[in-house]
Structure 1
Amino acid sequence: MTRVAGAVAAVLLVPGAATACSPSSDGGSSSGRGDARASGELSGTVTVFAAASLTESFTTLGERFEEANPGTGVTFSFGGSDSLAAGITSGAPADVFASASPGTMKIVSDAGDAAGTPATFVRNRLEIATLPGNPEGVSSLEDLTGPKLKVVLCDREVPCGSAAQTVLDAGGIGLTPVSYEQDVKSALTKVGLKEADAALVYRTDVRAAGDKVEGVDFPEAAEAVNDYPITLLENAPNAEAAEAFIAYVRSEEGQRVLADAGFLTS
């Protein structure tokens, strides 16, 4: 069964992992597979560190990959891309890293922990998340500066926070949030719990939240469309199965799952 680890520190080295094979030149990120089934027999656990905004879509992809490859399991650790990168460079055992920005992927590449060249597999853009029904009548980025409006942002060190600062700068808007959150899910949760009136988050997270929040698009979001790169990690305990999982993420079927979640796939 696909498992989700709550934090980087909770991910344990999986005993009995398959012997690693030599990584491909593009980090095992080859495309063109039509489904989740890989050629040959795969076994063991694939440990994936992935940006929090990938939680729902990657959980689905992991389940489908396991169904098509009965000898495998996929374990996820979702969180802020910067924290995940720090965990990898500190030696946390993992097979795959999927980041919400090239900048956080570069941390891993520069440390020599990426096998090959990371490949962009989707893109994402921001939306304003409001309470259901949008009771404050937020219709633009500038509306977030209202004196009574409680707004939360992602921490500036994580991709969603960096993107938020980019769009605010693009709009010439100065905004002091009531809090900075460690990842996009934490920011969205503040709105869902009615602890904030609005948040700048990814549109995929607004979609995943269903009727708990309402999304408001704004033109400045086009100034900060984030590329999401993925890579096989240099010391992957189960490189063969990890390469197959990356190939599935980039396959037509994998891209459909991601597009249904609201990601930009072309």
Structure 2
Amino acid sequence: MIEARGVVKRFGTVEILRGIDLSVSRGEVACLIGPSGGGKSTFLRCLNGLERFQEGRVTIGPDVLDARQSPREHAKAARRACLRTGMVFQSFNLFAHRTVLENVIEAPVHVLGMKRDEAVERARGLLDRVGMLHRLDARPRELSGGQQQRVAIARALAMGPEVMLFDEPTSALDPKTTAEVLAVMADLARDGQTMLVVTHAMGFARKAATMIHVFGDGLVVESGPPDQIFGAPAHDATRSLLAESRVA
């Protein structure tokens, strides 16, 4: 479903990604773990075209983002990639002046050209799934952080993405609301939704992931199933990361 080969991303003279090779199969839940500043979030943004990388190639289904593409070619490829991927950010990015329902139907109506009645029906089903149907007329300011993030997940799902990208979706939440959001994500995982998740929630990664990729200093230092990564890590950076998370 996703294949990244030799992805290099620089901001000025600073190399954030130093040659990422990573694959995600359809139906897989891949968690990216690692210390802050290791390039995890930047990598997600490269996958859906929000950041342009300087070297390498990313394939999402039949669509290709290539560092050698012209600006025009890359813009077209990025638009296609965005339609295949749903992105959930650390901050909720909801439209403050719109209701929960309006936030969820906005893109399906105006980007996909879906009829409003159809978009509303889909939105109601998704809001029910994330436990927010009872607040469909609320404005974002009337919701807790966890509630806003669950609406953001429903909004991303409303576009019918083949892949869901989560960029530390619980980093701004307290423990109770973190648990609510992780429960929604675990439900998606059980239903076979392809997901790529940047997270510091090691418990979620261990239980929900089918594959763990450990980032460090702009590289993938180790990959494997959860039992291997958490039970018998092979790399010093992984052992150090897990020791720090247990202390925290």
TM-score by length of 1: 0.28
Greater RCO, CA 8 A, separation 6+: 1
Q: Provide the TM-score with structure 2 as the length reference.
A: 0.29
In proportion to residue count, which structure has more helix?
A: 2
